Amino acid sequence: MDIAEFFTVDQFAQMLELHPRTVRRYIRDKQLQASKVGAEWRIRKEDAEMFIGGRFESLQTEATNEIEAFIQGLDSEIDGKLQVCTVLDCYVGTPEAMKISEIIMWHMNETNPQRGKAKFQYFYDDKAKKGRYVIWGNPYFVGKVLTAVGEVTA
């Protein structure tokens, strides 16, 4: 199994906008499957998808509420003069969806002052057979992320 097929606790926490302690508690309480590699927990992508799938409705509602708050100008995390919220629906198989996830997570984790307070959410809609990414941030950064995704999927 390739190391790219695993999330660290920090990566998974950021993806779900949770504190890493919360993710560790889910692991300890056996709500989320993970394996210890050295001193670090690693979460298989399949286990992450199962965990997220179980929380699909609450994630979908939360994302919808945040999008509506953004549209109504109620977003409390504004950083700069221009803000963007974009929804990226991916009707692709698991290997391509994982590439997209890795690209987005790489950009979200990189040290880049132009990132500002960018954030994203991901969830998989099993009924529609699609992955959905909701990305918030300044136009430059969101454009950079979308361009990177477009280059890999072209």
- Two tokens, residue 64: 């919808």
Q: What is the pLDDT of residue 144?
A: 95
pTM of the model: 0.58
Q: What is the pLDDT of residue 118?
A: 87
Q: What is the pLDDT of residue 2?
A: 47
- Name the H helices within the chain: 9-16, 20-28, 45-54, 56-71, 94-109, 139-153
Report d(CA 50, CA 29) in Å as an integer. 16
Q: What is the pLDDT of residue 75?
A: 64
Q: What is the pLDDT of residue 117?
A: 83
The domains located in the chain, with CATH, are 1-54 (1.10.10.10), 74-154 (3.30.1370)
Report d(CA 62, CA 41) in Å as an integer. 27
Considering only CA atoms, which of 126, 35, 124, 118 is closest in space to residue 70? 118
pLDDT in tens, the chain (154 residues): 445 578 889 888 887 778 889 899 899 988 899 999 888 999 988 888 778 766 656 666 777 777 787 777 776 566 678 888 899 998 887 778 778 888 998 898 888 888 888 888 887 776 777 888 889 889 999 999 999 999 988 7
Report d(CA 123, CA 39) in Å as an integer. 28
